[in-house]
Amino acid sequence: MARLKDLPAGERELMMKIPMPHFDSTPFVTGKPLSERRVAILSTAALQTRSDRAFAWQDAGYRVIPGQTQPNDIIMSHRSVNFDRSGFQQDYNVCFPLDRLHELADAGVIGSAADYHYTVMGANAPEQLEDTARHIAGLMKRDAVDTVLLVPV
C-alpha cells in the first residue's frame, strides 16, 4: 500500500507507464437498482478476525469476516516488508470498508450488507486463487449476495 508519491522517481515513472486495459463495450450484465442489491466485500488485504488463523506465506485460502464484526477485532496478517500497514492502522475502512457499507445500507443507497464478507491474500498468482474464488462465490450465492465490492490492496 505504498503511495505513488513516496516511490523513488524511477520506480514511480515505471508504474505510470504500465499499460491499463481499455474496454470499448459496456458490460453485458445488467441488474436491479443498487438500492435493491445485497452487497458483500472481498478484500485482498489478508485480514482476519482475532480468533482466526493468520495467513501463511503464499496462502491461497480465504477468511470469513462476519458482518457485525467490531473494527478492533479485525487484524492484518500480510507479512511482506514492502507492505505499508499505516492506512489500515489509522482506519481499517481503507482495506475493508465495512462501516461505509453499513452506512450505505442504512441510508438506503444499497439494499443491504451481506451477513458475511471475505478476505484473501492478494500476493498470489490469479490461478492460485481460482478454487478459492469459486468457493467464495458459492458462499456468497447462499447469502443471496448479488453485488461484490472488490477491494484490491
Q: What is the pLDDT of residue 79?
A: 63
| Contact by Cβ (8 Å): 143, 37 | no
- In whole angstroms, give the CA distance from residue 4 to residue 150: 21
How does 28-65 read in b/e, with b if 16+ C-beta sit within 10 Å? eeeeeeeeebbbbbbbbbbbbbeebeebeeebbebbeb
Helix (H, G, I), strand (E, B) or coil at 65: strand
Q: What is the pLDDT of residue 36?
A: 97
The pTM assigned to this predicted structure is: 0.77
**β-bridge partners, 64:** 118
Q: What is the pLDDT of residue 112?
A: 98
Q: What is the pLDDT of residue 84?
A: 64
Q: What is the pLDDT of residue 83?
A: 62
Q: What is the pLDDT of residue 76?
A: 84
Mean pLDDT per 10-residue section of the chain, whose length is 153 residues: 78 83 75 94 91 86 93 78 62 85 97 96 82 96 96 84
